Amino acid sequence: GNSVTQMEGPVTLSEEAFLTINCTYTATGYPSLFWYVQYPGEGLQLLLKATKADDKGSNKGFEATYRKETTSFHLEKGSVQVSDSAVYFCALMDSNYQLIWGAGTKLIIKP
């Protein structure tokens, strides 16, 4: 069946460090891929998405590229800030138009 696997957290970085959060997926066909972010005490917000292979989604300095050959959608940011501290979820949209979610990766940025 379809599934999403994310790197386990928490991930702790210093401000201005480079961030990578790994996400790989298993799916039939070519699903749309998403990164959502959940700030403390809040609901989820879409961070970025990609709908076909080799697409790059980007927002707020974050980027992720849809890699069909490695079935991956890793999230990256060149220089993180304390305000980026949150839980990040990778998800795919299956053929029934339902989101399949990873377990989430907690990111902690220290000043």
Binding residues for another protein, rule: CB under 8 A, are 4, 31-32, 34, 36, 42-46, 49, 51, 89, 91, 93, 95, 97-99, 101-104
Instruction: Tell the smallest beta-carbon distance from residue 3 to another protein (Å).
Output: 10
Tell me the chain's radius of gyration from C-alpha atoms.
13
Instruction: Tell the smallest beta-carbon distance from residue 105 to another protein (Å).
Output: 11
Residue 51 region by backbone torsions, left for phi larger than 0, else alpha for psi between -120 and 50, else beta: alpha
Instruction: Tell the smallest beta-carbon distance from residue 79 to another protein (Å).
Output: 26
**Closer residue to another protein, CB minimum distance, 18 or 39:** 39
Q: Which tokens is 92 given? A: 């795919």
8 Å CB contact between 75 and 21: yes
Through-space distance between the first and last CA atoms of the chain, rounded to whole angstroms: 41
**Closer residue to another protein, CB minimum distance, 17 or 99:** 99
